[in-house]
Structure 1
Amino acid sequence: MAAYSAPSPQLHWNAVPRSTPPPLPTHRACAPQANSRFHDFPAAFSHACALRDAHDLSGAADAFGSLCLQYPERLETFKALGYVLHALGDHDRATSPLLFAFLCDGTDPTPLYFCALSKQRIGDLRAAREMASGALDVARCSPWHARVQASAQRLLDTLSSS
């Protein structure tokens, strides 16, 4: 058995010999640009709202959808997208942004109420009842949501008679 010998100091065939380690990248602070993403949101959201107010619901849905992708931390974009999709009659797709908005802010029952309406229109009455009941429970805990409370109660009454 041969004795162990240390590997030869030759480099691998494609290795580049370096006398010093590579320089570290320099970091410099960048000045904020005029078209910064934080300055764009109010204008873009206002534009989407203007489309909705002009009854261009499909354009508003596209605008709010792109805002949801660009600004996922802004819950108002998800609420607005869900409301516009609901107004368009696209009830299958309206529930996702509305549920996301409700799950992120459980103190506002309005998105959950609109989810219940969408589920009713789709024909999923069991889910509509559960969501309307949840919206009613949340609305009862808040003095600011009396209209949602009354609407959710009417929806539950309608669903109970179905």
Structure 2
Amino acid sequence: MVSLLMRSLSLMPPAPTGEILARGESGLVYIVLAIILGYAGVVAIVSRIPEILAGVSIAAALVPPTTVVGISLAMGWLEVFRGSLILTAENVLGLLSGSLLSLYILNVSPRSYYEKRAAKLYTKRTMLVMGLMLSALLAMELMS
């Protein structure tokens, strides 16, 4: 409502700035970077590396494109909205995939037999869903 009022009074910029446009473009490199950041986040939690370093890097991957989602939606820049929403989804799925990958590589698992069995089932389901989501994002990225 406020954005409509501001637009009618010509108080809003007519076009997105270069910084906003940069946060509205997705690419394959962002998926790879998010996977690496997800991996680094779990490694920081498991090892003695300060967790705040992982938190800052993960926030740097998520906050800018998520902010642009809101700004572009309020401003009515639908193409920028679409790109930044895809970039945000790529970053979230990349972080989750990297985290799961690191848990597998570092062999982090429950201690009891029954918990291990349940964890294997949930891990397989989660990997399947994550693979499908990443495949969908890759397809969307290659089509755009």
TM over 0.5: no
TM-score of the superposed pair, with normalisation by structure 1:
0.31
Q: Which has the higher contact order (CA 8 A, sep 6+)?
A: 2
Q: Which has the larger radius of gyration?
A: 1
Q: Which has the higher helix share?
A: 2
